Amino acid sequence: MRDLALVIARWRADEDALRRCGNVVGADLLKRCADEATEAAEEWLTWLSEADAALRSGRSIPWLRARFEGWKREGHARQTGRTTRVYRAAIVPRRANLVQAAEAGRKAARELRGAAA
């Protein structure tokens, strides 16, 4: 299986080579493709430290560590160095934003009251 980050890096290298050879149109096309893929796959390409993953998810570090081996087998977690664990942002659940959800509920209720009047 190919690694998306390596594919995008190869596109960027090919873009540079095309630009050096004077093929600006081809280079611009590869740049757009690489930029769009990077933006679309941001959650897939971003790796979070254990502390950042705990903050994002609202879960404890022991909770993350309990899932580490399974996620590692699937390519969503890895160990860098002897003790540092990182997690792919796409696999780490997001903590519910209760303040934002409550405000959205109040706004919807106001709109319903306004529509009924």
Question: Which 3-state string (H, E, C) describes 12-60?
Answer: HHHHHHHHHCCCHHHHHHHHHHHHHHHHHCHHHHCEEEHHHHHHHHCCC
Q: Indicate the pTM of the whole model.
A: 0.71
The tens-digit pLDDT sequence of the chain (117 residues) is 688 999 999 999 999 999 999 999 999 999 999 999 999 999 999 999 999 999 999 899 999 999 999 999 999 999 998 889 999 999 999 887 766 767 777 888 888 888 776
Q: Which amino acid is at 41?
A: A
Q: Which amino acid is at 92?
A: V
* Distance separating alpha carbons of residues 18 and 32, to the nearest angstrom: 14
Q: Which amino acid is at 11?
A: W
Largest interatomic CA distance in the chain? 68
Q: Are 46 and 89 in contact (CB under 8 A)?
A: yes
* Distance separating alpha carbons of residues 69 and 79, to the nearest angstrom: 10
Q: Are 69 and 30 in contact (CB under 8 A)?
A: no
* Distance separating alpha carbons of residues 83 and 89, to the nearest angstrom: 19
